[in-house]
Structure 1
Amino acid sequence: MPNGSFPDKDAILILRKLRRFLHPNIVQLFGIIQTDLRLLFVSEYADKGDLDSALKISSMEDWELRSSLLFDLIEGLTAIHHSPLIRHGNLSLTKCLINKRFMLKLAGLGFKDILKNREHCLENKPYSTNLQSIPPELRSRISCERGIGSTSSSDVYVFADIAHALLSEHVFKSAETEQIPDHKLKKGAAARNAVVFNDFQTLLHKCHDDDPSQRPTIDRIRKICQSSFGINNQNFAQKILLRLERYASQLEDTVAERTQEFIKETEANEALLRELLPKQIVQRLKKDTAIAPESFDCVSLLFSYTTGFNEFVAKNSDVPLNVVRFLDHMFVSFDDIVSLYDVYKVETINDSCMVASGLPERNEDRHAKEICHCALGFRKKF
């Protein structure tokens, strides 16, 4: 059990600051329970555990998730450095907790300050098991009072290690093209992302400067990450919603595009069917209606042919395109004339054409008159 009375005035002052310090990226401290053996800090629960454990999960290899966690870390440190607490002083991967919304929250804030005069505290572990992860200005201060003497620059030093663990080169290169700024580089996505990763590494090297005064402030880091690396202030849940909206929009565009293609294809098929079958039969086929054979008591038929067509073809055997042009002109003219009368073009073969009236729609006794008008139209045209 800690020696001396607890809590003392300093501890009470810090506890008050912590109780008033509410931020989405800071684990909220509810209070302290003193038992016979230890002091228990009662704080907000993080469902997903600490960042050190989460990074070992393969499903964490996602740019949007990791960049969101990094920005949460930056937001938490920014709030701390602008608060009366000034610095975290106990920052590490295990102090970065993740809740069920995949939001990163900083834990352990102020714990060392509360326990700095207590003996046998549970926090008397070295700043890190890796000496290189300890800010140079604190390497001589490793004791039960770890964190005493640390500054906001010390937090920045450790931030670089956490940022490097979050956004590795592999994660950067797997990021989607639109998520990382172009930097006016006319290169492919992989090359561009590699260049941006090198810039990110340069920022981390500056954070590791042995001289604390030369390290960038958390505000400067925040600005650089937003402007240069595509790391914005949206949490992972917001990014998932935006991604779903983007996919929904893309799906709507794809559906609209496919629908237009389907409509065009349907219209082309109907046009082809109308060339082969009567319009009434095509309508029945579209409605999936059974088509029964019909008999017609009286209809009129027209058979036409072009005089001298065979001789024309023989003369133009060296220039077959002339024959094609002539047939095209003739058939287009036939179609134009047929459309003017109550007749149905049954078939065209070479220069011959068969036209009927009185079928497939009956027109009483007008079929002979309609066929005659059609024949006169052919003669007038040619």
Structure 2
Amino acid sequence: MRGIGQTFEAFLQNIDYLHWYLMSTAFSGIQSPSFRPELTSDREGDAVTLNYYSRRDCCSGIVTGLLTMVARCIFNIHIDITKLSVQKEMVSNRPMVHVRFRITQHPIGLPHIGLNWKKRWNLSKLNSSHKNTGMSVAAKLFGKIHPYHIVFDRRLVILQTGVGLMKHVPETQADGARIDTIFSMTWPEVSLTVQNIERFSNLTFQFEYRKASDKRFFCMKGTIVGMTASAEAHPAELANAPLFLYLGSPMARSVRDLEKMSLKISDIPSHDSTRDLILLKDQRNIEFDVMQQLEKTTSELAGTAAALQKEMRHTDELLHSMIPPLVAEKLKRNEPVQETFDEVTILFSDVVTFTQIAASSTPVQVVQLLNQLYTFFDHLTERNRVYKVETIGDAYMVVGGCPEMDPDHAELVARQAHQMIQGSGHVLVPNTQRPVQIRVGMHRYWSRGGRYSRSEDAPLLPVWRHSQHCLQNGVSRAGRSYSHQSLHLYMPPQQPAVLVRASWSDPSQGEGHDVHLFRGRPGAGRAGGS
């Protein structure tokens, strides 16, 4: 709003242009009001009579407040607004409110600036050596400078047009052609009459030409001023002018709009800023299309990256189900994974009478039984920080202290074994509906893990999955030392009894548990603990 005019009077004169621009771009279809200021003089001095036209009869108070704030905040003046009259008029068979305001201004801390923007300057004093010769422009030259102008009289009969209208709207060259029969006025949305031209003189008038027979279309915008037939006379007021001059230009915002009207850039006068606006609009459209394409590509790349991350997570989950996560990360970094663990504790369990259960149940029931049982065991391994080596049929193997070393591996595996025995009772045999019984054996041993081949092309075959082959003696001993209700742990004679006692508490059971580890002696058979 600060860029509309240098003075408050210029602001009032150009409000209608601001409304036209907003209505034709961002707020199309909205009915805007019209403002037409007139300079008046009375006993109180110079003032402005503002003619306000609106299809809404309740906005005059809002107009008063807005103009007061604009004058104070933008132009640093104080204005007094007095409502002179309010009347309703019929414009194009539609009611419209016409309010007349009287505006006087008082500067705030600045010298008074006169309201008379139509002051006549005496040029004879500035250039006394040259005599006013009454310069004029030939009609042919004027038609080239303004190829889309129209001169018409108060009967709306066309008297003269520019060369552009001669080419694109030849109907204007017919004798007695009327502007209101050839063109329809699309803005303001009133009928094309002399009274409406005088009423909305500050507006930008839009004329549209359509011919359905040959699909011709032409639209232009411009202003209307009054003129006289004498070349030496000054431009006349619209209310007293015998002739009207419409200075227009094609209504186009892009090259596509020009194509609809069969126009080229060269058809627009070089002094008309429409040329620059069209080129700028096309440049912005190209930049916007490129930006949209970049955003689309970025979105697709983001989606591809998200899908890749999802697949990588699935791959990691599959890999971690085969080998420990720590070993998997080392393999990804191409680091050696061959390690030796001085002490580990092995747990081996199976289901009691699994052969009879499988024989008397359907395959689906067997799968559901093992799935329910081993899902619970897997949850325990995560909670007890032990590693599940493998499941084969009803056999379930767990190791503690490997691949991540933990000095409390025996205690963790013992807790795992105890919780497995207690928790397995919640799983029922399909046919008998009796609790499942499992056998659990534990053994403390040494372990070594790595990969079979050093060849870069050879597949990585971690031996973590095959610990039972490297630990045949330990696994066999653990498999033979099983029990239904108590834990029996076997320690080979060559191993020192480093762990004498392991104890833990089970919050779910509200009680503590102790396991005693004994070193085996030749011929001693099973060594047990409770």
**Higher RCO (C-alpha 8 Å, min separation 6):** 1
The structure where strand makes up a greater share of residues is 2
Larger radius of gyration: 2
| TM norm. shorter chain > 0.5 | no
TM-score normalised by length of structure 1: 0.44
TM-score normalised by length of structure 2: 0.33
The structure where helix makes up a greater share of residues is 1
